[in-house]
Every structure is written in structure tokens, then in C-alpha cells.
Amino acid sequence: MVSTTDLASADSNRRDCEVSLVRLYVLRANYLVWVAAGSFMALPPLIDHGPTERGMIDSMFGGLWVMGLFGLRYPLQILPIFLFEFVWKSIWLLAFGLPQWLAGTGSPRLTDDLVAIGNGPILFGLVIPWGYVWRHYIKKPGERWC
């Protein structure tokens, strides 16, 4: 008789083999970059800030820092964070960054934003295991509604 634990273990092994070990290490390396960068960019404003700071962006960076920590251990389960980053940065690049740059109407910060945000779709596009995304987020049936 097959136990629930055996089924869960078989499902876990199959999922682990879906993405190569090299790709998992590439994902972990990117999460490690998030954790390292967040240690310098996200944590200081969370620890030491003024009493009237709104802190929305700092809090978001802090949340990404925490998710990066989880991503080191569970790179595929935290993959939706990379997908979110890929999508919003692609939208910004196509809807705002490139049109302003091509028209020559961008703000003085546009060049910095193009580098900081515009590289995201390229980097995340290379790192995300698209076959896994296709199988688990597009092809796989969705959760039941009731």
C-alpha cells in the first residue's frame, strides 16, 4: 500500500528533476545577490529611519530581501517573485522607458532608470526556467474555485 508520505516524496523527486541542478544553482545565486544587495540597500533604512518616513519602498525592498532568503532554500517555490520582477520591469521598459528614450523626452533620471530597471527583463529572462513556468503556471490546471 502506498502512503501519503511516499506519494509526496515521489512528487517532490519528480519536481526536483524537472529543473537541472545547474539552473537551481543559478536561481540560488540570484537570490544570494538579492540577499547581499538587500543587506546594504534594504536593511539600513528599515533599522534607522526618520519618525515621519513613509517607508513604502524601503518596506518592499525589505520584503524582497526576506523572500530572497527563502529563495536560497526553495528556489522554485519563490519563483513567482522573479516572474513578478520580470513582468513589471518589462511593462515599465516597453510602456515608459523605451518610448521616452526614443523620443528624447525623458527626465534626467531616465538613463539611471533604464540601466537599473531595463536590465531586469534581460537578466530575469535568462535566469527563469521557462519550461518549468510553462508546465506549472500555464499548462497545469488551476486550483478549484469552490
The model's pLDDT over 3-34, given as tens digits with 9 standing for 90+, comes to 555 555 555 555 557 899 999 999 999 999 99
pLDDT band per the 50, 70, 90 thresholds, residue 80: very high
Position 115: which residue type? V
Nearest to 129 by CA among 30, 56, 5: 30
Residue-level pLDDT at 14: 59
DSSP 140: S
pLDDT of residue 7: 53
Span of 11-25, 34-48, 64-78 with lowest mean pLDDT: 11-25
Q: Would you state the pLDDT for residue 16?
A: 56
Is 0.85 surpassed by the pTM of this model? no
Interatomic CA distance for residues 140 and 130, integer angstroms: 14
Residue 108 amino acid letter: P
The CA dihedral of 57, 78, 68, 73, to the nearest 10 degrees, is 160
Is residue 42 very low, low, confident or very high in pLDDT (cuts 50, 70, 90)? confident
The distance in angstroms from the start CA to the end CA of the chain is: 31
E strand intervals along 22-141:
none
**pLDDT band of 47, cuts 50, 70, 90:** confident
Question: pLDDT value at position 105?
Answer: 87
